Amino acid sequence: MNQTLLKTIGSVLNLISFFSSNLAAKIAIHFFSSPQKGRLKGLNAAFLKSAIRDVLEFEGIKIATYHWEGNNETILLAHGWESNTSRWEDLIHILRESGYNVVAIDAPAHGNSSGKLFNALLYSECIHLVAEKFQPHCVIGHSVGGMATVFFQHKYQISSIKKMILLGAPSNFLGVFKRYSNMMGYNESVINAMNQYVLKKYNHLPEYYSAAKFSEEIAAEGLIIHDKKDKIIPYRDALDFEKHYSNSKLITTKGYGHGLKNETIYNYILEFLNA
């Protein structure tokens, strides 16, 4: 959606908030949680046919998984917002050449998974479900997939996970919420009501969900890769992770954007995995 349309929607919800801030917040959260892209298309689907495909279920949501067998350690891949497993195609080819056993997940409301709504907490539970089945040695998460990876490992402490790679990951939910609110132009009434909505539904305010602070309790060795010119998730989030995630290393790039889909990035990943 273009900026004009987003601001228009924001203005409408601001108006609604004068009559019912709770209703405005409910609509705003629903809009925030509804991906507009990320479903699979024909060309994307062709590559995924080479995998062993399965479906797991979490609270009525069918979660699509893809498995490329290998004799090396198991790597679990978790994509980001409005994406799907096909975004990993180049990396999967590289991992398979090194013999890794590769597993990938489509998030709720993305790829071949069912559902209409998505958030990092829901995603973290789905990643946990897949991790329990495949017992990965390493989880690689891009963007919100990285945040969800930290959320689930902080909560469940899966013993098989010895390494985590966070690519362009947001370090805290409060920052994500603020960027969304600024993009939409929400007034304080809508913002405060959204915070209360999160508190009522999840028993914590948005600021509680800090992946960076959660990482303090994660023993797995971490690799953080973030581009200094990332226009989606600011570089300061990487510095936030570096501050709190003591058993991690930060690699700063410049020119690869938020996607971080580049041979140089893949070499960093392989070097970390093989160490």
The tens place of each residue's pLDDT in the chain, 275 residues long, gives 678 888 999 999 999 999 999 999 999 999 999 998 888 776 667 789 999 999 999 999 999 999 999 999 999 999 999 999 999 999 999 999 999 999 999 999 999 999 999 999 999 999 999 999 999 999 999 999 999 999 999 999 999 999 999 999 999 999 999 999 999 999 999 999 999 999 999 999 999 999 999 999 999 999 999 999 999 999 999 999 999 999 999 999 999 999 999 999 999 999 999 99
Which DSSP symbol is given to 227? Answer: E
CA neighbor of 261 nearest in space, from 119, 95, 88, 103: 88
Q: How many CB atoms lie within 10 A of CB 141?
A: 29
**pLDDT tens-digit map of 215-270:** 999 999 999 999 999 999 999 999 999 999 999 999 999 999 999 999 999 999 99
199 near 24, Cβ under 8 Å?
no
* Cα–chain center distance at 147: 5
Question: Any residues with CB less than 8 A from the CB of 201 and at least 6 apart, and which?
Answer: none
33-172+210-274, which class in CATH? alpha beta
**pLDDT tens-digit map of 101-119:** 999 999 999 999 999 999 9
